[in-house]
Structure 1
Amino acid sequence: MSRSVLVTGGNRGIGLAIARAFLEQGDKVAFTYRSGEPPKELVDAGALAVRCDITDSAQVDAAYKEIEEKHGNVEVLVANAGVTKDQLLMRMSEEDFTSVLDTNLTGTFRVVKRANRGMLRAKKGRVVLISSVVGLLGSAGQANYAASKAGLVGFARSLARELGSRNLTFNVVAPGFVDTDMTQALTDEQRAGIVAQVPLGRYAQVEEIAGVVKFLTSDDASYITGAVIPVDGGLGMGH
């Protein structure tokens, strides 16, 4: 049966690929975007585009009400929306730090808590949080981003213990370097330096991240919860 799926930050990159993957298997997909116009390919394929800034609880609640009205209670949540404000610690302002945590970590809290209402009533639900290899390895100039992404691991594992008896699963996907618009903007020298750190010797494709997310929400993964799945070409092995 077609499920009600929500992907936050589904308008580009990894989120777009995840939304596309669920649409292709026949699910009812809603995705949030914060600014600009939603991608035409998703809208034309039947996805529900919902403008929402996940740092605003009122906007999160309004987004869920719209989705519930059109698709029913969210059964699968992929918390993907995130931001970066990279800076060395000595130059990082408090706002640089707190704003990244407010979106990446507290924003995830907001969307998960709101989804929880319908999932508890239904006594089933799948939640996947998109973290990063940086949250496990650390990265110079990304103390704020790494802290926010590491926090998702503790958040997911706590909820896996808290709500496992209600047939809800919480898992984390930790991508490494992914071929997106952001990484394509790097110089050839920068890209080569990154690839040199990866045992598989290449960037991930967004579809490879989406495939793991799709697996974690499938019946084949019904006994997996509290897991952190690296999709990083071996970059963070052992972490």
Structure 2
Amino acid sequence: MQKLIVTGAANGIGRATVEKAIEAGYFVIGTDKDAAGLKALTHRYGDDVLDTQVADFTDDAVIKRFIPEIYARHQSIYALINNAGIYHGKSIYAYSDDEVDDILNVNLKALVYLSKDFAEREMRHEASRCIVNIASVAGEVGSCDALYGATKAAVIGLTKANAWNFAPFVRVNAVSPALIHDTAIYDRIPTYRRDEYARQEILKQPILPGGVADIILLVISDAMRHITGRVIPVDNGAYPR
């Protein structure tokens, strides 16, 4: 049974990815700062297919020890899904110093350390492995939340660089969602920005977390074995690029 790490596993895209991955036959290692959400997942699926760990990636020490602690319990892992993220939906002028540090840690620094620590261990096996980073259309076309947009643009750059760094054994791709309904982020997006996203969509069925999870599982599948360093949009055709 192949094993996946999913960060931000308790809610939204992360939870949908956990659920669909288990249904597809993977063993999932899920992490989130939401202990109650992780407990609910464990209650539903059990520890035969799910291992959960509470982790808050605003903390530097947690970021740096996360992968070593996972490998103390698991010998080898097939894929890392870097999904955890922060979105405030507010002006850069409204950010506190602590909020600046937190969003940089969760949205970018955690991906740097988790990715390199995962790849360093898995490249030794000289077998196919995967990293999927969750970016955002905000990293491609901009965001009213400048720090969110900046970190997601950096995620895209990190994805492309690490596709080179970790080749030939670890494929690294980004999935870039646009307006995703039924998530905590959706309610924080200013109304005018939500309306603009919706106006740009040429397919009109609302994108739900499960729709993004479907693409994540496709990206880590053998069907995508020749694809690395790419940004894969999930956006109902908005912002053609």
Among 50, 53, 58, the alignment partner of 2:56 is 53
CA 1:43–1:122: 2 relative to 1, 3 Å: farther
CA 1:52–1:183: 2 relative to 1, 3 Å: closer
1:25 matched residue in structure 2:
24
Among 131, 135, 139, the alignment partner of 2:139 is 135
Partners of 1:56 and 1:96 in 2: CA distance? 12
Partners of 2:70 and 2:211 in 1: CA distance? 27
CA 1:216–1:33: 2 relative to 1, 3 Å: same
1:40 matched residue in structure 2:
40
- Which amino acid in the other structure matches residue 33 of structure 1? D
CA contact (8 A) 1:230 1:236 kept: no
1:157 matched residue in structure 2:
160
Among 96, 100, 121, the alignment partner of 1:97 is 100
1:122 matched residue in structure 2:
125
Among 147, 150, 158, the alignment partner of 1:147 is 150
TM-score for both structures, normalised by structure 1: 0.88
Give the 5 Å matches for 1:1-239.
2-37=1-36, 38-45=38-45, 46-60=49-63, 62-124=65-127, 125-140=129-144, 142-165=145-168, 167-182=169-184, 185=187, 194-238=197-241
Partners of 2:239 and 2:99 in 1: CA distance? 26
Partners of 1:90 and 1:230 in 2: CA distance? 29
Partners of 2:110 and 2:160 in 1: CA distance? 17
SS at match of 1:229: strand
CA 1:133–1:194: 2 relative to 1, 3 Å: closer
CA contact (8 A) 2:181 2:206 kept: yes
Say which is worse superposed, 143-152 or 80-89, in terms of deviation: 80-89
- Which amino acid in the other structure matches residue 134 of structure 2? I
Partners of 2:172 and 2:31 in 1: CA distance? 20
CA contact (8 A) 1:50 1:63 kept: no
List, as ranges, runs of 4+ consecutive aligned residues in structure 1 with deviation greater than 6 Å: none
Identical-pair percentage: 26
CA contact (8 A) 1:78 1:128 kept: yes
Shift of 1:236: 2.4
- The CA deviation string for residues 98-132 of structure 1, in whole angstroms up to 9 with x for no partner, is 32111100111121122123211112320000011
SS at match of 2:173: strand
TM-score for both structures, normalised by structure 2: 0.87
Partners of 1:236 and 1:42 in 2: CA distance? 38
CA contact (8 A) 2:87 2:185 kept: no
CA contact (8 A) 2:13 2:213 kept: yes
CA contact (8 A) 2:10 2:34 kept: no
Shift of 1:156: 1.0
CA 1:56–1:222: 2 relative to 1, 3 Å: same
Partners of 1:139 and 1:185 in 2: CA distance? 15
CA contact (8 A) 1:136 1:236 kept: no
5+ residue gaps, structure 1, are none
Shift of 1:162: 1.8
- Which amino acid in the other structure matches residue 233 of structure 2? P
**How large is the Cα RMSD of the aligned pairs?**
2.3
- Which amino acid in the other structure matches residue 121 of structure 1? R
5+ residue gaps, structure 2, are none
CA contact (8 A) 1:131 1:150 kept: yes
- Which amino acid in the other structure matches residue 198 of structure 2? V
